[in-house]
C-alpha cells in the first residue's frame, strides 16, 4: 500500500446505531445510560460496569451486546456521554428534558458542535480535541458551501494539524485534489451517508442533493455583527431556541417579538446579560434563558439600557427617554410565560448593570 493511500485511509469514522437521535428509541437508550451513570456515581471505570450498561441498553429493544455497544459509543462520539463511564455533559440532561423534538434538535446541535469527537469511544478516549463537527461547520462558514465530494475530502483531514480550527477554500481544494488522485471518493463514498444524516439533523444546516450549506438568515446585518464578535453557529442555535419558545407560546406559524407580539420580518436574539459581560467559558453566553426575541427597535432600547423589565414583565423606561416613547412602551410588557427563575436572575443583572437609571 502506498504512503498516500495510508494517509487517505485515515478518515472521520462515524457510524450510527440511531439515525433519528431525537426520536423515542434513541432518547430512551440515552436516558438508560444516564440513569445508570447516576446510579453508579463516581466509581472508577470497570469492564463489569460497562457490561452492565450494555445489558440495560440491550434489554430496551432486545438487541445484542454488539448493537448496544455501538449505540453507547455513538453517544460517546457525539458528546452526550464521557468515555470510561466518567459521566455526561450538562447539555445531555437539557436534551433529555426538552419539551419537543424541535427543542431537542437545537440542544443536539449544541452538543455535537461543542463536544463531538469521532476518535473517542467508551473504552478508548483520545487525548486530542479533534471535534470534527466543529471543524466542519467552521470550514463551512469559511467557504460558504460544501459539495458531497468536498465533504468526503474534508473527512480525510486530521483536524489537529489545523490549530485555527478550519480549512480555507485553497486548503480544501488541496485535500479534494489529493482525495481524487487517490480514488478516495469511490472507495469511501458510502461512508459519508451517516455523516450527512447527522448534519441533516442539526439546526440551521441544509443538506440538499449533493450540497451542504447554512439555512438562510433574513437578518444579514445581525449575522455580520455576530460573525465578528462571537461564535456564529452557537448564536444561530441560540436564536432558533428563542424562536421555538415564541412560536410555542403564541401558538403561531412564525416567531413573534416577545414584547410587541408581532411577527416582524426581522427579529433579534437579544442577550439580557450582554455577551461581552459573559466569561468565555460561561454557559450564559448561549443560555437561552439569557435571551429574549425582540424587534429591532425594542432590542436597541434594551441593548443600550434605555429600557429594562421588572420581575412582573412590565417595562421600566429610562428617565432619559422622551415622553412619547414612554407612552408607547407603557402599552407593552414581557409575557409572564417567559419569566422563569433563570431569566429573572439575568434581568436583575440587566437592571443593575445595563439600565440607564439616570444615576449613571
Q: How far is the C-alpha of 26 from the C-alpha of 80, rounded, in Å?
A: 12
At 174 the pLDDT is 95
At 63 the pLDDT is 84
* Span 283-301, pLDDT tens digits: 899 999 999 999 999 999 9
All three cell numbers of 162, joined, read 489545523
At 222 the pLDDT is 52
Q: How far is CA 218 from the centre of its chain?
A: 20
At 292 the pLDDT is 98
In three-state secondary structure terms, 134 is helix
CA distances 4 to 10, 162, 174, 182, 359, Å, are 10, 19, 14, 7, 68
CA distances 283 to 79, 110, 289, Å, are 16, 11, 10
Q: Give the confidence band of 359 by pLDDT, cuts at 50, 70, 90.
A: low
Q: How far is the C-alpha of 17 from the C-alpha of 69, rounded, in Å?
A: 9
Whether 201 contacts 21, CB under 8 Å = yes
* Span 130-182, pLDDT tens digits: 999 999 999 999 999 999 889 989 999 999 999 999 999 999 999 999 988 88
H/E/C letters for each residue in 15-38?
CCCCCCCCCHHHHHHHHHHHHHHH
For the chain, what are the domain ranges?
3-10+130-214, 24-99, 220-353
Tell me how crowded residue 331 is: count the other CB atoms within 10 A of its CB: 8
CA distances 108 to 17, 98, 264, 327, Å, are 16, 10, 28, 43
* Span 27-72, pLDDT tens digits: 999 999 999 999 999 999 999 999 999 999 999 978 888 999 999 9
Q: Give the confidence band of 112 by pLDDT, cuts at 50, 70, 90.
A: very high
- Tell me what the mean pLDDT of segment 295-315 comes to: 96
Amino acid at each position: 500500500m502506498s504512503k498516500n493511500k495510508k494517509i487517505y485511509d485515515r478518515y472521520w469514522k462515524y457510524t450510527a446505531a440511531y439515525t433519528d437521535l431525537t426520536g423515542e428509541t434513541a432518547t430512551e437508550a440515552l436516558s438508560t445510560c444516564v440513569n445508570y451513570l447516576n446510579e453508579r456515581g463516581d466509581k472508577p471505570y470497570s469492564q463489569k460496569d460497562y457490561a452492565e450498561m450494555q445489558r440495560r441498553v440491550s434489554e430496551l429493544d432486545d438487541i445484542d451486546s454488539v448493537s448496544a455497544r455501538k449505540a453507547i459509543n455513538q453517544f460517546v462520539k457525539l458528546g452526550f456521554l464521557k468515555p470510561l463511564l466518567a459521566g455526561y455533559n450538562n447539555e445531555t440532561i437539557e436534551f433529555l428534558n426538552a419539551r419537543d423534538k424541535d427543542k431537542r434538535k437545537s440542544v443536539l446541535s449544541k452538543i455535537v458542535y461543542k463536544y463531538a469527537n469521532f476518535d473517542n469511544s467508551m473504552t478508548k478516549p483520545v487525548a486530542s480535541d479533534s471535534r470534527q463537527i466543529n471543524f466542519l461547520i467552521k470550514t463551512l462558514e469559511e467557504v460558504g458551501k460544501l459539495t458531497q465530494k468536498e465533504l468526503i475530502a474534508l473527512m480525510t483531514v486530521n483536524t489537529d494539524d489545523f490549530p485555527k480550527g478550519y480549512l480555507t477554500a485553497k486548503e480544501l481544494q488541496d485535500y479534494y485534489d489529493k482525495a481524487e488522485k487517490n480514488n478516495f471518493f469511490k472507495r469511501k463514498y458510502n461512508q459519508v451517508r451517516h455523516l450527512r444524516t447527522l448534519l441533516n439533523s442539526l439546526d440551521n444546516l441544509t443538506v440538499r442533493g449533493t450540497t451542504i450549506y447554512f439555512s438562510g438568515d433574513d437578518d444579514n446585518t445581525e449575522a455580520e455583527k455576530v460573525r465578528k464578535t462571537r461564535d456564529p453557529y452557537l448564536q444561530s442555535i441560540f436564536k432558533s431556541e428563542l424562536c421555538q419558545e415564541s412560536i410555542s407560546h403564541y401558538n403561531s406559524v412564525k416567531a413573534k417579538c416577545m414584547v410587541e407580539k408581532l411577527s416582524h420580518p426581522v427579529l433579534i436574539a437579544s442577550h439580557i446579560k450582554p455577551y461581552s459581560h459573559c466569561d468565555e467559558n460561561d454557559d450564559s453566553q448561549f443560555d437561552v434563558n439569557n435571551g429574549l426575541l425582540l424587534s429591532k427597535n425594542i432590542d436597541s432600547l434594551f441593548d443600550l439600557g434605555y429600557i429594562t423589565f421588572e420581575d412582573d414583565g412590565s417595562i421600566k423606561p429610562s428617565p432619559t427617554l422622551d415622553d412619547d416613547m414612554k407612552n408607547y412602551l407603557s402599552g407593552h410588557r414581557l409575557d409572564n410565560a417567559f419569566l422563569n427563575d433563570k431569566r429573572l436572575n439575568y434581568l436583575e443583572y440587566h437592571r443593575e448593570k445595563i439600565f440607564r437609571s439616570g444615576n449613571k
